[in-house]
């Protein structure tokens, strides 16, 4: 298991190192205070935090602006297109009735005893192509409907679904958090995706169906009648379950193709083809084009409506793209001032695994800001110099350790906390006993699986 190694080449003087460490802490403090106290938008907070870091580190303001702008440009170029294509794909899945088809098929084939496991599977499948907030909005009517029809505990069915959804958000590209960490650390996306699914499965089981056996004893709330109309039978045309499932898995299979080519050492035309279709941008572009027919047309959507769906998907993710971009700018400022190198040097000699340190950094920023994405981009910037000493699988595990830390203990400064609280009709205390603890179990068990994988890769 890789431990932290010494990094030289940054500033050698202790006074300079201390100044850089204080600059990093001041920048992070500015971001935290602006987001949590001043309620300033994270994009502006990250921008001001980056300028603060540069000024406090002694870098000229023009150089700081150049560094921040370069980071924003690189990140948006690498990640922004993928987020946009992912949003289009998710919107097509929802509007075509494909998501409903997956849900109805899985629920229809599940016994009462297997319902929590089925709900975890639905959460993971819905979460694979969709952003967390969109997936949550889609899942809530399903959770309420199944809870009413089965007579089972709302918490006992809701927790597994939320665990599946949240794990995908934290561990599996093309979600914004894992994507930006992959970009910042130079990880192999296909390998990270494969290992991310490998980490997500056991963590979903522990934080979902297993934790759901305990949580209903602590909190028992009635099922709200928020989506009663959704119990009416949907009579519109839908894509088939097999076609929908194949379409959802298509981007995953394509992105894994490049990794498979590396493993089997393919050559010639086969290698160049797998490399091309396995490129994240191409894989998602192909998936969106295929989904227009396998989900859109197969779901009875007219061509104009498909185009409207694709157009409508982009507005809501503009904020995410710019937050992620500003996070990339903050990361680049940390790197260019030499702070990231100093942090790696500063923790030299501690016998901590690099994965544990990455997890702890992400946990602290997550607790302070409430944002999994801000936690991921900031932790990735701080840990970036360490990635150079790691093998490709270890860099992917570093991404997943940061992802695990970014999920830790969602509480009152996280928008997801309030979404869950209001949908389930719980008090703040009840939400902490269920949602917050589930997120913590997800985070800790994710780190444990990463550490175990670190022993064998």
List pLDDT tens digits, range 134-175: 678 767 777 887 887 788 899 999 999 999 999 999 998 877
Query: Which uninterrupted H or E stretch holds 7?
Result: none
Angle separating helix axes 81-95 and 318-337, nearest 10 degrees: 150
pLDDT of residue 226: 55
Looking at residue 340, its pLDDT comes to 66
Give the mean model confidence (pLDDT) for residues 195-210.
Answer: 96
What confidence score (pLDDT) does residue 5 get? 44
Instruction: Give the H or E element holding residue 323.
Output: helix 318-337
From CA 82, how far away is CA 178, in angstroms rounded? 12
Spatial separation of the C-alpha atoms in residues 355 and 38, rounded to whole Å: 32
Name, of 24-28, 173-177, 314-318, 448-452, the range with top average pLDDT.
448-452
Answer whether 216's CB lies under 8 Å from 153's CB: yes
- At 343 the pLDDT is 66
364-382 pLDDT, tens digit per residue, is: 888 877 778 878 988 898 8
Structure tokens given for 122:
């639905």
Q: Residue 3 pairs with which residues in a beta bridge? A: 353
Q: What is the pLDDT of residue 195?
A: 95
- State mean pLDDT over 97-117: 85
Q: What is the dihedral of CA 99, 128, 167, 415, to 10 degrees?
A: -70
What phi and psi, each to the nearest 5 degrees, are found at residue 52? -65, -45
The answer to whether residue 15 scores a pLDDT higher than 80 is no
CA distances from 118 to 17, 183, 299 (A): 52, 33, 24
Tell which residue, 262, 254, 249, 250, has the closest CA to residue 278: 254
Distance set, CA 145 to CA 15, 151, 228, 417, 419 (Å) = 61, 10, 8, 22, 18
Backbone φ and ψ for 6, nearest 5 degrees, come out as -70, 145
Query: pLDDT (tens digit, 9 = 90+) per residue, 188-201?
Result: 988 999 999 999 99
pLDDT for position 228 = 46
Using alpha carbons, select from 187, 181, 183, 186 the residue that is nearest to residue 402: 181
Return the residue matching tokens 């290992």.
195
Q: How confident is the model at residue 317 (pLDDT cuts 50, 70, 90)?
A: confident
Q: How far is CA 138 from CA 53, 75, 123, 238, in A?
A: 40, 29, 10, 16
Q: Which of 203, 93, 248 is nearest to 442 (CA)?
A: 203
Give the global pTM. Answer: 0.76
Of 141 and 327, the one with more pLDDT: 327
- Mean pLDDT of all residues in 166-186: 88
What is the pLDDT at residue 65?
95
What is each CA distance from 288 to 71, 133, 223, 307, 310, in whole angstroms?
28, 20, 36, 12, 9
Whether omega for the bond prior to residue 174 falls within 30 degrees of 0, making it cis, is: yes
pLDDT exceeds 50 at position 262: yes
CA 194 vs. chain centroid, Å, equals 14
pLDDT class for 344, splitting at 50, 70, 90?
low
pLDDT score at 13: 38
φ, ψ for residue 353, nearest 5 deg: -65, 145
pLDDT at 233 over 50: no
Alpha-carbon distance of 175 to 407, in angstroms, equals 13
Is residue 8 over pLDDT 70? no
Q: Is the pLDDT of residue 28 over 90?
A: no
**Range 278-293 average pLDDT:** 90
Gap between the Cα atoms of 151 and 128, Å rounded:
28
- Does 27 score more than 70 pLDDT? yes
Q: What is the pLDDT of residues 384-436, one digit of tens each?
A: 888 888 899 999 999 999 999 999 998 866 778 877 887 888 888 899 899 99
Q: Is the pLDDT confidence value at 232 over 70?
A: no
Average of per-residue pLDDT values in the chain = 84
Q: Are 191 and 396 in contact (CB under 8 A)?
A: yes
For 8-22, 59-73, 334-348, which range has the lowest pLDDT when averaged over its residues? 8-22
Number of H helices, E strands in the chain: 23, 0
Distances from the Cα of 16 to the Cα of 153, 225, 286, 322, 339, angstroms: 57, 60, 49, 32, 10
User: Rounded CA gap, 240 and 105, in Å?
Assistant: 10
Residue of 155, 153, 161, 164 lying closest to 107 (CA atoms): 161
Class of residue 278 by CB neighbours under 10 A (exposed 0-12, middle 13-18, buried 19+):
buried
pLDDT of residue 236: 67
pLDDT value of position 403:
96
Report the distance separating Cα 387 and Cα 170, nearest Å: 19
Mean pLDDT of the region 229-238? 52
Contact 199, 429 (CB under 8 A): no
What's the CA gap between 435 and 412, in Å, rounded? 11
Phi-psi label, residue 9: left if phi above 0, alpha if psi -120 to 50, beta otherwise? left
- The predicted-structure confidence for 80-101, as pLDDT tens digits, reads as follows 888 888 888 888 888 888 888 8
Average pLDDT over residues 326-354: 75
């Amino acid at each position: 298991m890789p431990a932290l190694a010494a990094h030289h080449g940054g500033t050698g003087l202790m006074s300079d190192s201390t100044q850089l460490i204080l600059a990093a802490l001041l920048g992070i403090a500015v971001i935290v205070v602006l987001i949590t106290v001043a309620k300033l938008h994270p994009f502006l907070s990250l921008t001001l935090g980056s300028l603060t870091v540069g000024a406090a580190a002694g870098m000229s303001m023009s150089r700081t602006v150049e560094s921040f702008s370069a980071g924003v440009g690189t990140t948006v170029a690498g990640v922004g297109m993928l987020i946009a294509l992912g949003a289009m794909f998710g919107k097509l899945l929802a509007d075509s009735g494909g998501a409903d088809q997956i849900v109805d098929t899985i629920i229809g084939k599940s016994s009462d005893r297997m319902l929590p496991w089925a709900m975890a599977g639905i959460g993971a499948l819905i979460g694979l192509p969709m952003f967390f907030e969109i997936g949550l909005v889609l899942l809530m009517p399903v959770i309420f409907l199944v809870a009413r029809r089965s007579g089972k505990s709302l918490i006992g069915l809701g927790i597994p679904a939320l665990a599946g959804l949240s794990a995908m958000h934290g561990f599996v590209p093309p979600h914004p958090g894992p994507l930006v960490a992959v970009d910042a650390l130079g990880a192999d996306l296909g390998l990270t995706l494969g290992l991310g699914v490998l980490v997500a499965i056991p963590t979903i089981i522990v934080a979902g169906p297993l934790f759901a056996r305990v949580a209903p004893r602590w909190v028992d709330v009635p099922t709200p009648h928020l989506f009663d109309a959704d119990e009416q039978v949907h009579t519109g045309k839908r894509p088939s379950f097999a076609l929908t499932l194949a379409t959802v898995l298509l981007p995953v299979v394509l992105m894994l193709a490049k990794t498979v080519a590396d493993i089997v050492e393919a050559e010639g035309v086969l290698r160049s083809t797998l490399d091309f279709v396995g490129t994240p941008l191409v894989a998602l572009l192909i998936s969106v084009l295929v989904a227009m027919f396998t989900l859109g047309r197969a779901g009875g959507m007219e061509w104009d409506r498909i185009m409207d769906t694709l157009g409508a998907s982009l507005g809501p993710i503009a904020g995410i793209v710019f937050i992620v971009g500003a996070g990339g700018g903050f990361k680049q400022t940390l790197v260019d001032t030499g702070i990231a190198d100093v942090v790696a040097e500063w923790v030299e000699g501690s016998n901590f695994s690099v994965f544990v340190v990455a997890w702890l950094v992400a946990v602290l920023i997550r607790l302070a800001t409430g944002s999994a994405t801000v936690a991921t981009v900031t932790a990735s910037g701080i840990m970036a110099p360490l990635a150079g000493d790691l093998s490709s699988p270890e860099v992917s595990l570093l991404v997943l350790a940061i992802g695990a830390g970014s999920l830790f203990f969602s509480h009152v400064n996280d928008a997801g906390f309030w979404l869950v609280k209001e949908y389930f009709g719980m008090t703040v205390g009840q939400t902490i006993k269920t949602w917050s603890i589930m997120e913590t179990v997800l985070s800790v068990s994710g780190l444990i699986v990463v550490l175990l994988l670190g022993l064998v890769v």
